[in-house]
Amino acid sequence: MPRIDPIAREELAQFEEFFKIVEGGMGFVPNSMLTMGRRPDLLKAFAELSSAVLVGGTLPPDLKQLVAFVASNAAGCRYCQAHTAHSSERVGVPPEKRDAAFEFENSPLFSEAERAALRVARDSAFVPNATTDEQFAELRKYFDDIEVVELVAVISLFGWLNRWNDTMATQLENDPLGFASNNLSARGWDAGKHADDPSE
C-alpha cells in the first residue's frame, strides 16, 4: 500500500502532453509520476531530466534499459525492477538476455562493452558505491566520454527512482506487475510493498 497516494492524472492537466509521451513508450503513466505531481515543480523537473536521460543521447535504448534493470536490482527496488524489465521487452531486449542480465559476467549473450557497462551499473548502485578506476578504464575501451556520461546519467536517474519508489512504497501498475510476476518470479522477484495490501 503506498505511503502517499498518487493523484489523479486529470488533476495534472498541464502535464498531459508529457503523459501521452510516457504512455506511448511505457504503455501507462507510472504512479511514481502521479505522486510527484503533488509538487508540480518536481514533476516538471523530473520530466525534463528523464526525457534528456532516456530519450536523448547516442546509447541504444536496449542498453539503457539493461543498465537500469541491473542497477535497480542491485539497489533492491522491486518497483523499478518490474518497470525496467517490462520496458526492456518494449525496446526489444530478447527475453533470454533479460533473464541472464545478472549473470552478464559469464553469459555469452553479452558483449565485452555490455559487460563493462553492466558492471558499473551494478557496482554503482551499492552503498557505499563500489565502482573502481579499473572499471572505468575498461568502460573507456568501448565508450567515449559522452557515452560514459549517458550511462552514469541512466544509473543516477534510476538511483533517484529506486530511493523514491522504495521509500514511498509506490504501488505497481497492472502492466509491469503482471509482466514481472510472469517473468521475474522464478528469479525470486515479488512485488513486496509495491503490491496492493491483501488485507484491504
Please, which residues have CB within 8 angstroms of residue 87's CB and are 6 or more apart in sequence?
Answer: 25, 26, 65, 68
Alpha-helical (H) ranges within the chain are 16-26, 31-36, 40-54, 61-75, 78-90, 95-99, 112-124, 133-139, 145-168, 174-183
Break the chain into its structural domains and give their ranges: 59-188
The whole-number pLDDT of residue 189 equals 94
Confidence at residue 198, expressed as pLDDT on a 0 to 100 scale: 45
Looking at residue 200, its pLDDT comes to: 42
Name all contacts of 183-187 with Cβ < 8 Å and 24+ positions apart: 183/85, 183/95, 183/98, 183/99, 184/81, 184/82, 184/85, 187/99, 187/102
> How far lies 154's CA from each of 124, 157, 158, in Å?
11, 5, 6
**Cα distances (angstroms) measured from residue 14 to each of 27, 41, 92, 175:** 20, 11, 31, 25
**Integer Cα distance of 186 and 22 in angstroms:** 29
Architecture category of domain 59-188 in CATH = Up-down Bundle (1.20)
Q: How far apart are CA 66 and CA 114, in angstroms?
A: 9
Residue 100 C-alpha cell reads as 541472464
Grid cell locating 21: 509521451
- Environment class of 175 (CB within 10 Å of its CB; exposed 0-12, middle 13-18, buried 19+): middle
- What is the model's pLDDT at position 196? 75
Contact in structure between 31 and 198 (CB atoms under 8 Å): no
Average pLDDT, the chain: 95
The pLDDT of residue 187: 87
Name residues whose C-beta falls within 8 Å of residue 132's C-beta, 6 or more positions apart in sequence. 123
**Stretches in the chain below the pLDDT threshold 70:** 197-200
Give per-residue pLDDT as tens, 115-135.
999 999 999 999 999 999 999
pTM of the model: 0.94
Q: Looking only at Cα atoms, what is the longest distance across the chain? A: 53
